Structures are given as C-alpha cells and as structure tokens.
Amino acid sequence: MTSSHSEKRVKTQPAVVLGAGAWGTALAVMLARGGVDTTLCVRRPGQLEALATERENRTYLPGVAFPPQLALSSDWRAAVARAGTVVMAVPSRYARAAVESVAQSIRNDAVMVNAAKGIEEQTLRTMTEMMAEVAAHAHAYAVLSGPGFAAEVARDKPAALVAASRNEDAAWTVQHLFASRSLRVYRSADVIGVELAGAAKNIIAIAAGVSDGLELGSSARAAVITRGLAELARLVEAAGGRRETVMGLAGLGDLVLTCTGELSRNRSLGLALGRSGATQGLGAEQEGRPVAEGVSNARAIRSLARRHGVEMPIVDAVYRTLYEAEPPKAMVEELLSRALKAEF
C-alpha cells in the first residue's frame, strides 16, 4: 500500500482507544484531529461525565481540548464492534481483563494496536502476545512505542514513534494512521524488540531518578542510562529481537527521554525514592494519578531475564529497592562494587 488513495482509506476506518489515561487520551485526540472517526472508551461513569461536560481530560491531560469529532463511550463492546483499529492504552497489569471484556466484539478484519509499555507478570507475555491469545481472530497485531510524552504529543510538539508488526500491511496502516505534521512514525517488524525495550526502560528510569534524588550528579545518570541500555540490548537479543531496535526510537530514544524528562512518571518515582529513602506508598495507583509502569514491570522483567539467563544488575537493584526494602544508597553501592570487567 503506497498510494494516497490507500492513505485516505486508512483514515476513514473507525478507530477506538481503550483507556482514557494520559497516553490513551493523547492518541485519541491525535487520531480525531487527523480526521479519523475516533471513540475514546472510558471505564468509570464519573470520568465519562466529566470528559463529556468539560471536553478535556482535566485529570490526566489538562489543557488539551477535545476535537469536536472525538466521541466518548462507556460501552466498550459497541465501540469496538465498529472499529477497524483497536488501540489498547490500558496499563499492562489491567490489559488482559480489558481485552477479554471486548474480545468477542472485535472484528475479524481489525488491527489491534498496543500502546502500553509493559509485560504480564503472571505469564511474561508481551501485550501483543496477550492480545493474540485473547483475541486470536483479529486480523493483525501491532505496537506503537517510542519517546513521546502524552502532554507534548497532544500539544503537537514534534515527536517520533515507531509502529511495529509482523504483518507488513498492519505496520504500514498504523504508521499512516498516527502520522501527522508534528508526529513522525517509523515502522518495524521487530515487535518483541520494541515491546521489551519499552517495558524495561521504565525500570532503568526509576534507577536514574534514584540517582538524581541522591544528588549523585550528571555523570552518574549518564552511567545508569548507558549501562541500562546494555541491559536492554542483552534482554532483547536473548528474546529474539534485534540489537538495532534497542539503538533506535523504542530503545535508546525512549530510554533517554524517560530517564531525563521532567514529565517522566518513572523518573519522578525514583526521585522521590532517592530523596526519601522510603518505598512504602510509592508507585501505588490512586484515582487521578498516572501509573508508573516500572513498578510492576520490575518484577516481570526480572523474571523474564532469569528465564533467558540474562544478567540485568540495574533491574535487579531496582527490584530489591522496591520489593525487598533495600535502601537506595545500598543499591548504588552494590552496583559500584561489582567486579571490574571489559565494557563489551
């Protein structure tokens, strides 16, 4: 598919976004602005009423007005039944339940797009693997990932993402569906690489936040990012992904953004942890508070690394700090005291 006629046909297919958090709302707004018949699905009745009345998501994405053509719905099954593209933007820990609730209504010709960055803790499946299991009849499965903060993307600030699918036509479709004057979308066939990089970088960002919270300096942060990138590469390659994916938007690009950006939820959590030294209550989900995916994924990525026999010392250290009450300073001291070795 390369013609402008095909591009127009992509835009005329109805799309539905499951999940009205910051990223789901931003993607729905972008699609609607691009002329796509888009429905944003909301779970809580109170939230739906507020969004419909205010025509913006003041809880998760304040100051971004909804386009007039953006529809809202709490009837997820009805919305999904008419959609050619189903975007799953629910946090990874709740994603399976969300997809299961609408699976029977998903069209056979639908392309399912994962926009969440995480893997299942119980099964260690990626989100596209989970969707392919729960909605096996769908036409194709894809992932949209990369360095993009919801608040910036929704305000048309320049950004670049990557759309990956094993189905070349599906990757092309997602690429052209989300591309705009301010959002450049590349495509890839390395689904596992894109998804694992997107999930694991959140844990490295917590470590970078801890480093900043302890005021260890810019050099320490750079070391965390660089060695974290090496951990991502080892995991992705062991799982069958490509090293070049880790060096691209879904890996290095997203890692740098999440480890340094002021809008990063995972870095912010690490900052609080480094400054206070207390883990209790950090990362706990609260209504109206965005989820830091790195908290739950520290356990999942650690388990996946062990399954593949991959060494991920930064991930291990973050896990122990979050779940075994290891003080942040002890985490740093342990990483610095590791045996010296060659870099590559």
The residues near 293 (Cβ < 8 Å, ≥ 6 apart) are 91, 92, 116, 117, 118, 199, 202, 265, 266
Host H or E run for residue 40: strand 38-41
Q: What's the angle, vertex CA 234, arms to CA 228 and CA 236, rounded to 5?
A: 100
Q: Among residues 8, 11, 117, 201, which one is catalytic?
A: 201
3-state secondary structure of 248: coil
Distance spanning both ends of the chain, measured CA to CA: 41
User: Distance between CA atoms of 33 and 130, rounded to whole angstroms?
Assistant: 30
Contact call for residues 135 and 106 (beta carbons, < 8 A): yes
Is residue 157 part of the annotated active site? The answer reads no
Rg (CA), the chain: 20
Q: Sort strands 159-165 and 15-18 into parallel, antiparallel or unpaired.
A: unpaired
Host H or E run for residue 326: none
**What is the number of other CB atoms lying within 10 angstroms of the CB of residue 263?**
14
Residue 288 identity (one-letter amino acid):
G
* Residues identified as active-site: 201
